[in-house]
Structure 1
Amino acid sequence: MLRQYELVDRVLGYDPEADEALLNRAYVFSMAAHGSQKRANGDPYFSHPIEVAGILTDLHMDDETIATAILHDTVEDTLATPEQIEKTFGPSVARLVDGVTKLSKIEAQSDNERAAENLRKFLLAMSDDIRVLLVKLADRLHNMRTLKFIPSEDKRRRIARETMDIYAPLAERIGMYEFMKEMQTLAFAELEPDAFDSITKRLAQLKEGGGDQVSRISSGIRLLLAQKGIKADVEGREKHPYSIWRKMTERHISFEQLSDIMAFRVLVDEPEQCYGALGLLHARWPMVPGRFKDYISTPKRNGYRSLHTAVIHHERVRIEIQIRTHKMHAEAEFGVAAHWAYKAGGMIQPDVNSRWIRDLVEILDHAASPEELLEHTRMAMYQDRIFAFTPQGELIQLPKGATPVDFAYAVHTDLGDQTVGAKINGRVVPLRTEIMNGDQVQILRSKAQEPQAAWMNFAATGKARAKIRRFVRQKEQAEMVALGRRFYDAIVARMPAQLAPDALTQAVKRLKLSDPDRLMETIARGALTDAQVMEALMPGSSGEAGTNVHPTQHSVISMKGLTPGVAFTLAPCCTPVPGDRIVGVRHADAPVEVHVIECPVLQAAPEEDWVDLAWGDGSDGGTARLAVIVRNQPGSLGVMAGILGGQGANIVNINLAERDESFHTFIVTIEVHDVGHLMRIVAALRAADAVVNAERMEPRAPLAA
């Protein structure tokens, strides 16, 4: 553990103007506050915040950040209060400590809720001052270094998973690659110990078998560049175990099939020398097609700049090479921390990260559930990037797989909402077209357009999906209110007397709802019977209790693509069941009618009235019609009924369609769970000796007018 004078000397070594008194006060205050507290490994608890501060001195952080690191656990784990922190260390340090403290005070039920709440507070805090994120990352890194001392395996795995899912990607997004790699390696060792041990052993064997291959290749690259007048520092290393494991799982290959487990870094003085070195390397060794990336002319969203390439070395190995200046390298290793500048008024930071942070914070406003928040933010943090251009030449960075819809929302929310089409490189393309690196994208817009639910099928960015989902939810809510209003008007028309002017207001109060719109929405969803609405409007007016006149959907069937709760009917002409490919047909003032895709009724319905539907996740149940031919012999009908009962199919209706001396044909309507259930029933019927044939009946054509 660093002693007090050692920590202060470190800070003064890179920032002679640092507030020495502030650092000394923080050290003494934290030591006294933590007192005799111990960590899981038996060390004094006070050693943890000091080690976190030491990590941040390696990044040359300012005195306020170092003081925050020393104090970051005092409010949460000791009797110290935020008021004491502000009085002793000033409002700036108090605000930073409060930002870090809030990230740890999580009170939610499920793991997803806990992680989402953590992430939400995290994003809000770092959008205000990104130093909060730097302290938290250093805190998490030190906790991962001592993870093995926690006795509970479940707790170790939870911390490791959270580190892999949230903290490592955040470190990567602000360019702190060394933090990211160490976190991933430590988390990987906990989450996949067998794979970690296997890969590290194979790396050790490879190093022993090939001698010091990394040093030989590094020396060769350095000599090649020196001969052509380029002075360069060349570093080589094997890739870290998690990086290797991820490539093995993504490509479905074994360790022996990996051909690029070594990476080299070429550091030069000037950007022009980067391109000169690249030319020499490509002239000396064959380049691997598709592996060259120029992040100098088009930096990553986190400000990362470098040239990446891969070549086939003469030692018959494929190697990856990164070429950058020493300044670019410092930024790549330490990310935003490398950008801090010291001024009389304090520290400032560049704008290189503000856009993606704003995007993440904006997602907070549109996520309806913890699952959505995690989905969208992980999308924004994890995916590899591609670069596309507006017609004016502005560079837009997007994840791989992004479409023009993602591009439009990345430019501006209004442009995304009004998108009707797109041109890529001057050619009109469908909105689901994947944008490729270097494409020029022009968005065609119309003020009459609005976001479409179907865009969710191909939107790739968290920002776009959050915006679309929010609009769809608002539209669905408006539709539900309108539908409920129609049902409400029908109920009012049946009332025994004219309602008082304030009847609706009183009904809302009796039902303990927030406003009339919530009442209409509740009626539309079938959560209230007509009798309950009548009683709320005019107590004693409902007559027979439980009356419910308006049609509602089957309680266990839901449809993707249809407003939740909106009335629909399963068309009797084709009797769709879960698993069938289905289409809805809208009718004025009537429920949406659901048909199987092959139903001849659809031929008569205008395509503009079609609704693209799919069965919801909880869909279970429907009716199907079977044509069953049985032998004309005693007991055949009983055999058929016994098979249906044995397969869990309830008989709704049965009709004798044809009869002759040898066979009887029955039309049987049964309740089934889904298509798979129906097919099992048909197969069981066909297997019986008493049954000649069993078929699901084809959809019936519409009757002639």
Structure 2
Amino acid sequence: MDIQPFFTEEEKKQFFSKYKQLLRHLYSFLKKEDLGKMKELMKRVVALDCYGRDKNGINGLLRNIDTALIATVEIGLKRTSVIALLLYRPVMKKIITLDEVKETFDADVTLIISRLLKTSDLYARNTAVDSENFHKLLFSFAEDVRVILIMIADRLCLMRLGKHLKNDEDRKRLATEVSYLYAPLAHRLGLYTIKSELEDLSLKYTDRKQYDFIKRKLNETKRSRDAYIAEFIAPIKSKLEDAGLRFDIKGRTKSIHSINNKLKKQNIPFEDIYDLFAIRIILDTPYEKERSDCWQVYSIITDMYQPNPKRMKDWISIPKTNGYESLHITVMGPQSKWVEVQIRTRRMDEIAERGLAAHWKYKGGKAESGLDEFLNTVRAALETKENNPLDLMQDFKMDLYKDEIYVFTPTGELIKLAKGATVLDFAFAIHTKLGSKCVSAKVNGKNVPIKYVLNNGDTVSVITAPAQSPKRDWLNIVVTSKARVKIKQALREETAKAVDFAKEMLQRRFKNRKIEMEEPILMRYIKKKGFKTVTDFYVEIAEERLDPNQVIDEYLEQLRRETETNEHTEVRSAEEYITTTEAEEIATNKDVLVIDKNLTGIEYKLAKCCNPIYGDEVFGFVSTQGIKIHRMDCPNAQEMFSRFGYRIIQAKWSGKGDNGYIVTLRVTGRDDISIVTNITSVIGKETGISLRSLNIDSVDGIFQGTFTVMVRDTTALNMLTKKINAVKGVKTVERLNS
């Protein structure tokens, strides 16, 4: 790539270093021919001085590479977005045509570039944030969230280069634009790290004196702050280690911008701010244990330090709409100081750091779920005293979303709904309580029922009644997932109340008749009656379709029959099963894996975190201990792909899986030794499968067993699982990761 003419020696070093870094992060997402095609195009572009220096002397190609790195490493955009970002300027300058891009790469790259072209006025000059043109340009970004993310990356890159801007007015205008719009956009899309940096840099360029004052104060108090953090963390760390948790724990100083806001809002001196930092605990825990482990940490901390219940924020039970999950608590630490503690898992932390993009690493970059939040943010950002938001929204081209409609609240707030949405969908979109109490509405001043289908531009005012509550037939009225989820949730809550009432009534009837109710017998009675769940049984009682007295009579008959049977056959607990299976040596694995498309004979190890077997969909991960093979559904796969994508290599099985692989199955069922005997018999009869070990526990009439078996491949495993499931008394069979 002949780029020397417009690079200094230092810039040349920077470019190649950053170019290699970009390739490392994109390598696993690029097509084989992408690099060659890109190199040829860039030669042409550079030769025609498309990336020449701007008026501030900033090298255009370096700035583009920096923006691409932000988009990839810090935001999480991949191949399509980055290629579009690198080629956007040449297309804008008509050095390359959109047709050429489409022919060289694909239609999706062309689509993003064409959408970026709509922003050319915004990129070409610092458009005033209060101009009508700016609003119209901004709305055009709503076609594709990737365009907004690229724009945020570009603004962050320019802010980092702020010291190179020769005109102070240009710097302040950029900082104002970022503070007003891009930082809130980054916040709404969950890019909290980027949002904080944008805010800090904005303060630096708009109020350098205040920025330097806070920075100096933070430096002055750093030693005492670090000592306090160490004192606070030490006992927590010890307790968490005793609990067997894997974690990272650190103190994190809050952003200069947020500290400045506290100084202004509370009107207090710097020394009086108590929460200059937050403690963050990041757990390494499987997805299925995330909530329980986070709450366990919460319990440990609040046992040690007095919590402030008013400052507790639970975004684990109900995450924020942009995907943010974390548990925030404020506790009274040593020296009677309040300290904020943030508890989250590694997965949650990645979403908190990289926002919306962390949700669609495997979806090619399209995040339709994020469009709702983006458009709401646009509305909020443009809602100023000088502008009527309703007028602004009417200028927006509604045909950009052919499958969606926009309606308005009486105050002019824009609400996005799916096409075909009803008044009831609208009410739930505003607030769950409003939806639950909705009886009708006024649409454009006219009274309509809850099933009325809304149209683009309708203004809707919801009418409620205190006695109203969700009905099951509402599920046939609504079309949005939010409304359906909330209605089902309300119905479940109503069902739970009915079940509790029915349980209490049945227990009272048993007591009145001086009969002691035995739960296992009742469960068998419920199953014999044909109820799929215990809840269904109690709902029948609550809705008076089943007489409690009849239930008790039939229960007594069941008890009598079982007592007679037990006099002849004693039921023994599954825990009494004694295995006679001898431990076997693990067979040496000689199956051939094709690594990285067509390489064979390469040394590898099967990862213990997911225990892949022949037939599983797998991938290779280049670790410090060599290549490790993981299942595609490995609990650690998401983190490896997102954080270490450049280490991922393709892998697939070939040959035959006849040497045997260790698999652990968790089986639950009725607590009866005969069931376990039947399971071991099934395993023993299967050709090529052997039982290596088993462990049985039982509680409340249910046994849970782990059966470790040697199988040759996934076909044999699936057949075995099916046969164990068919054993009478077995409830569930599940393959464990390790």
TM-score by length of 1: 0.51
- Deviation at residue 7 of structure 1 after TM alignment: 4.7
Closer, same or farther: CA 292–209 of 1 in aligned 2, 3 Å: closer
Which residue does 1:593 correspond to in 2? none
- Deviation at residue 33 of structure 1 after TM alignment: 4.5
Closer, same or farther: CA 156–468 of 1 in aligned 2, 3 Å: farther
Which has the higher mean CA deviation after the structures are superposed, 160-169 or 50-59?
A: 50-59
Which residue does 2:709 correspond to in 1? none
Residue among 268, 277, 292 paired with 1:272: 292
Q: 1:442 and 2:455 equivalent?
A: no
CA contact (8 A) 2:325 2:348 kept: yes
Is the partner of 2:246 in helix, strand or coil? coil
Q: 1:23-62 alignment to 2 at 5 Å?
A: 23-25=38-40, 27-35=42-50, 37-39=52-54, 42-58=57-73, 59-62=75-78
Q: 1:186 and 2:201 equivalent?
A: yes
Closer, same or farther: CA 139–113 of 1 in aligned 2, 3 Å: same
Which residue does 2:147 correspond to in 1? 132
CA contact (8 A) 1:49 1:73 kept: no
Which residue does 2:506 correspond to in 1? none
Which residue does 1:341 correspond to in 2? 361
Where does the alignment leave 5 or more consecutive residues of structure 2 unmatched?
Answer: 1-13, 394-408, 448-456, 462-738
Which residue does 1:286 correspond to in 2? 306
Which residue does 2:324 correspond to in 1? 304
Q: Distance in 2 between matches of 1:246 and 1:210?
A: 20
Closer, same or farther: CA 374–150 of 1 in aligned 2, 3 Å: farther
Which residue does 1:103 correspond to in 2? 119
Is the partner of 1:214 in helix, strand or coil? helix
Q: 1:29-428 alignment to 2 at 5 Å?
A: 29-35=44-50, 37-39=52-54, 42-58=57-73, 59-76=75-92, 79-106=95-122, 111-114=128-131, 116-125=132-141, 127-268=142-283, 269=285, 270-342=290-362, 347=364, 349-359=366-376, 371-373=387-389, 415=423
Q: Distance in 1 between matches of 2:30 and 2:95?
A: 33
Q: 1:10 and 2:29 equivalent?
A: no
Q: Which has the higher contact order (CA 8 A, sep 6+)?
A: 2
Q: Distance in 2 between matches of 1:341 and 1:109?
A: 32
Closer, same or farther: CA 88–440 of 1 in aligned 2, 3 Å: closer
CA contact (8 A) 1:196 1:241 kept: yes
Closer, same or farther: CA 137–25 of 1 in aligned 2, 3 Å: farther
- Deviation at residue 361 of structure 1 after TM alignment: 7.4
- Deviation at residue 109 of structure 1 after TM alignment: 12
CA contact (8 A) 1:33 1:80 kept: no
Where does the alignment leave 5 or more consecutive residues of structure 1 unmatched?
Answer: 378-402, 423-433, 453-465, 471-705
| Corresponding letter in the other structure for 2:301 | L
CA contact (8 A) 1:236 1:264 kept: yes
| Corresponding letter in the other structure for 2:371 | S
Q: Distance in 2 between matches of 1:469 and 1:439?
A: 13
Which has the higher mean CA deviation after the structures are superposed, 104-113 or 320-329?
A: 104-113
Which residue does 1:633 correspond to in 2? none
- Deviation at residue 57 of structure 1 after TM alignment: 2.8
Q: Distance in 1 between matches of 2:411 and 2:440?
A: 11
Which residue does 1:381 correspond to in 2? none
Is the partner of 2:52 in helix, strand or coil? coil
| Corresponding letter in the other structure for 1:354 | L
| Corresponding letter in the other structure for 1:293 | K
Which has the higher mean CA deviation after the structures are superposed, 167-176 or 409-418?
A: 409-418
Which residue does 2:732 correspond to in 1? none
Q: Distance in 2 between matches of 1:288 and 1:375?
A: 44
| Corresponding letter in the other structure for 1:225 | L
Q: Distance in 2 between matches of 1:153 and 1:259?
A: 35
Is the partner of 1:226 in helix, strand or coil? helix
Q: Distance in 1 between matches of 2:335 and 2:434?
A: 37
Closer, same or farther: CA 99–214 of 1 in aligned 2, 3 Å: farther
Q: How many residues align?
A: 416
| Corresponding letter in the other structure for 2:108 | S
Closer, same or farther: CA 148–110 of 1 in aligned 2, 3 Å: closer
Identity of aligned residues (%): 25
Q: Distance in 2 between matches of 1:97 and 1:73?
A: 9
Closer, same or farther: CA 38–354 of 1 in aligned 2, 3 Å: closer
TM-score by length of 2: 0.49
| Corresponding letter in the other structure for 2:326 | S
Q: Distance in 2 between matches of 1:110 and 1:129?
A: 21
Once the two structures are superposed, residues 429-475 of structure 1 have per-residue CA deviations (whole angstroms, 9 ceiling, x without a partner) of: xxxxx98x9998623434587299xxxxxxxxxxxxx97699xxxxx
Closer, same or farther: CA 252–229 of 1 in aligned 2, 3 Å: same
Quote the RMSD (CA, aligned, Å): 4.4
Is the partner of 2:320 in helix, strand or coil? coil
Q: Distance in 1 between matches of 2:151 and 2:215?
A: 29
Which residue does 2:626 correspond to in 1? none
Closer, same or farther: CA 359–26 of 1 in aligned 2, 3 Å: farther
Q: Which has the larger radius of gyration?
A: 1
| Corresponding letter in the other structure for 1:155 | D
Is the partner of 1:72 in helix, strand or coil? helix
- Deviation at residue 194 of structure 1 after TM alignment: 1.2
Once the two structures are superposed, residues 87-122 of structure 1 have per-residue CA deviations (whole angstroms, 9 ceiling, x without a partner) of: 5444322221232232231599993553x5334433
Closer, same or farther: CA 57–88 of 1 in aligned 2, 3 Å: same
Q: Distance in 2 between matches of 1:267 and 1:173?
A: 22
Q: 1:444-463 alignment to 2 at 5 Å?
A: 444-447=439-442, 450=445
Is the partner of 1:111 in helix, strand or coil? coil
CA contact (8 A) 1:336 1:349 kept: no
